[in-house]
Each structure stands twice: as structure tokens, then as C-alpha cells.
Amino acid sequence: MRFGVVRFPGSCDEIDALRACETYGDADVLWHRDADLKGVDAVVIPGGFSYGDYLRVGAIARFSPVMGAVEEFGRDGGPVLGICNGFQVLCEAGLLPGALLPNTSLRFLCRQVAVDVINRDTPWTRAVEGHKPLSIPVKHTTGRYYAPDEMLERIEASGQVVFRYHAGHNPNGSLNDIAGVCNEQGNVVGLMPHPEHAVNPLSGSTDGGLLFQSAARVLAPAVPAA
């Protein structure tokens, strides 16, 4: 199966995301100027500072040609994973509910955190078993999840909260400790923590690999678990 990793001017973690995807399948770079998804099976929008975070994080990236194709892919049920800046882009594009605001500390924070997986039904979380939180790093300045009251109630009620920071691990003031959400269909997932930095055992944790493994299993069941 093939992952497509989107690259904007200013993406930083796309190489790391490519490496993580390649552990479980093949991976191609999807350049922002091309509205061509090259027939990939799943799309990953990685972290970084697309367009320098100018105007508002993700605000400019969401209008790039590739995002038009990603939006169509997502609405058709294709699996999409937005990591950090990718999550911000998906919210700006309206593919995910809510918005990401500056951390309450107003500072960039890079730290390993414990994240609970709340929704195991998405293509990105199906391989997660047991109840131990995942150990994954966060690194961002604008990661505080926000949705207006009514929207927040709806998201909680409909199971659209996919990840929550474990008690005491909320690094940014996110409402309800939300670390990641999905759309109503459940195929588009966004999260602030960086699973691609928890794949190689040398990084101290391999928990992040479960997200890529999930997608690989869903799309190509014959792929052996790595």
C-alpha cells in the first residue's frame, strides 16, 4: 500500500513522516503545487511551519492545489492523517471541526507526553490494543484545541474525540484535554502529537508506529506487522 506525504514550503517533519510511513508501506511526496494524489491509498499531512505560519497557522496552506485533491479524497472516505501543522491545515480547510489556538503558556513546547486513544475505530487507530497510553512527543506553539460549546458537546457525544492527553499531560490548555479529533465519517484524523517521532526504537518509544501500522493493515491486510 502507498502513503502520500504532502510537502508545503516550510514543512519540517515531512522527511520524518516519510520514514515512518516507509516502515509499514511505500511512500511518495505530494508537492503542494500538484493537485495530483498519484493514486495513493492514504494521505499524511505532516508537521512544520507551512508558509511560515504567516497570517494564521495553516491558513495559506489550505488553499494550495494539493489540498483541493486531499479534500475530495477525504470526503470520499479516503484515510487522511494531519499531524500538528497538518491538523491545523485540516481545521482551516473545514475537514475537521474546531480550531487550534496558541498554547496558554504562549511558548513553544517540546516534550514527551502520554496520550490516551479514545476512538479505536478510525483507520489510524485500529491497531491500538490495551489501555496503556501512548508515549509520543509534542512540539508546537499553537496546539490548544478549541471548539465552541455546542460543537464541543457534539464532538464528544459522537465519538469524534480520537486522542486525549493523559491526566496531567495536557501541554497547551486544550479543552477537555483533546489531543486529536476525527471527522463525522471517521476517516480524517488530526492530532497535535507527533507519532512519526515515536517509530524508531532509538527515539525512546515505538508507540507512534501503531498509527501507521493501523492504516497499512486496513488498506493492505496482507502486510506483515513490522
Q: Which residues are catalytic?
A: 84, 194, 196
Separation of alpha carbons 179 and 165, rounded Å: 6
Binding other proteins (rule: CB under 8 A), the pick from 98, 143, 195, 208 is 98
Binding other proteins (rule: CB under 8 A), the pick from 41, 53, 177, 207 is 53
Residue 177 interacting with other proteins (CB under 8 A): no
Q: Which stretch binds other proteins (CB under 8 A): 48-56, 75-83, 115-123, 156-164?
A: 48-56
Nearest-Å Rg of the Cα atoms of the chain is 16
Separation of alpha carbons 19 and 222, rounded Å: 21
Q: Which residues, listed in sequence order, are joined to residue 116 by a DSSP beta bridge?
A: 164
Residue 29 interacting with other proteins (CB under 8 A): no
Residue 200 interacting with other proteins (CB under 8 A): yes
Residue 207 interacting with other proteins (CB under 8 A): no
- Contact partners, residue 94, CB within 8 Å, separation at least 6: none
Angle between helices 209-219 and 14-22 (to 10 degrees): 50
Binding other proteins (rule: CB under 8 A), the pick from 39, 76, 107, 130 is 107
Residue 48 interacting with other proteins (CB under 8 A): yes
